[in-house]
Amino acid sequence: MTDKRELVLQRMRKVGKPLRPGEIAELAGLDKGEVSKIISALKKEGKVISPKRCFYAPAEGQGKEKTA
């Protein structure tokens, strides 16, 4: 997984609730369009879910970080 993809997932986990792409972009310091592409790829991999229209959260635990 690329660093940017991991960064997006980390920011989503940290907040712990579904976010819009613009919010994720702001938190990650990335362009909104780039974040949208990353989210799309992560959704295809099953790593991100969309609990409601235009909001996204990590698939595991829906926003809560996994503990090892």
- Classified by CATH at the fold level, domain 3-59 comes out as Arc Repressor Mutant, subunit A (1.10.10)
In angstroms, the CA 2 to CA 6 distance is 6
The pTM for the full model equals 0.81
Domain boundaries, the chain: 3-59
| Assigned token pair, 11 | 């920011």
Half-sphere exposure of 10 (CA within 13 A, CB side): 10
The closest alpha carbon to 21, from 44, 42, 3, belongs to 42
> Is 70 exceeded by the pLDDT of residue 60?
yes
| Assigned token pair, 52 | 């409601």
The pLDDT score that the predictor gives to residue 2 is: 82
Which range (3-7, 8-12, 33-37, 64-68) has the least confidence?
Answer: 64-68
Angle value at C-alpha 5, between 61 and 19, nearest 5 degrees: 50
